[in-house]
A and B are shown apart, each in its own frame.
Chain A
Amino acid sequence: MPGRHFAKPDLQSIYMSPPCQYPVCTTVLWYTRTMVKNEAIERIAELLDSSDTETANTSMRLPRALRDAAALAVEELGAAPTATTLTAVALRGMLEALLMQAALDQHYGQHPQARPSLGDLTVAAAELDGHPLAGQSELLYQSAAEIVRTHPGANADDVLLWAEARATASA
């Protein structure tokens, strides 16, 4: 976003900091990695906000089938003016989503209490979707607690589906 500030960590001073006194201490390594990741987040944000329209040839290799599918989508479906545009738009979308999640994760690292629970995310997803169960937060929190016992990797949409099935079964 042009005109917005992104905190810039001072990597030079981090690299030059004296090593930890304890033989098995990994604090400096952890700190350095964290700061490098933070620096990457800042740089990605700057690059995505750049108004520079200069293009560059890349040596990126795409699977041939994917390239041909993109060409067909452009020619026959009007997905974008060119396959290059289609690729760039898709890449930008994914990078922006990754940046958002990285920024959130960075924030949760500094403020663990800010991290939403699966129940919180389910309520939010239901509200954003206008789901019929959006007003039944108790059911959604309960469903989240239930599903996570057997499916630790469940997401908000999984919980919503489970809650809907429960509501239907009990109707």
Chain B
Amino acid sequence: MSTLILFDNEAVQALGDPNHPKHRRVLSHVEVVAQRRRRAVPVTLAVPTTVRVEAGWDGMDRRWALANHLRITDEPLGPAQANVAAGIRSRTGVSVTDAHLGAVIRATSVTNITVLTSDTKDVRAVAGARAVKVIAV
């Protein structure tokens, strides 16, 4: 069964900054994913593009070279997801990035969804009826 692992803002910041106190913790999860992918376990790392914006992850900036190599796919905010995100934001009052995260969670066809986050409460709020594994970084 396929697994989708999503990053929130602080998880991305921790990933991109070797001096971040949670850098090693986030890398631990990424390394486990790399090991599993070598065993052909279907697991995907992804990040909502608004999260990248908030975290300052500029894909053209060499400071993000490590993150750029980790096969983390972008989840863009297209028209349909923007509508869903707007609804989530109106109802829950969460940030734009969390609303986008919620829209990604609700749209994916993947059953196993995991979120690496510093804000477990908001992630559960935006996930709606979708079952999500929340890992606090």
Contacts and interface: CB of A to CB of B under 8 A. Distances in A.
A45 B69 contact: yes
Interface in A76-130: 90, 93-94, 96-104, 106-107, 110-111, 113-116, 120-121, 123-125, 127-128, 130
Contacts of B74: 1
Nearest to A101: B34
Contacts of B18: 107, 110-111, 113-114
Interface in B45-90: 58-62, 64-66, 68-74
Contacts of A15: none
A153 interface: no
A123 B22 CA distance: 14
B59 A100 contact: no
Given A5-B64, A45-B68, A116-B24, A100 B33 contact: yes
Nearest to B58: A5
B interface: dominant SS: helix
A41 B18 CA distance: 20
A128 B114 contact: yes
B121 interface: no
Interface string B111-137: 000100000000000000000010100
Contacts of A104: 27, 30-31, 34, 66, 70
Contacts of A63: none
Contact of A103 (B24, B37, B40, B69): B69
Contact of A116 (B5, B28, B62, B64): B28
A48 B37 CA distance: 15
B10 to A, nearest CB: 16
B1 interface: no
A151 interface: no
A97 B34 contact: yes
Contacts of A64: none
Given A3-B59, A120-B24, A128-B114, A103 B31 contact: no
A128 B62 contact: no
A44 B14 CA distance: 25
Given A4-B64, A116-B31, A130-B133, 6 more contacts: A3-B59, A4-B60, A96-B37, A100-B71, A128-B5, A128-B135
Interface of A: 1, 3-7, 41, 45, 48, 90, 93-94, 96-104, 106-107, 110-111, 113-116, 120-121, 123-125, 127-128, 130, 155-156
The 9 closest A-B pairs by CB, nearest first: A4-B59, A103-B69, A97-B37, A124-B28, A116-B28, A100-B34, A97-B38, A4-B68, A120-B28
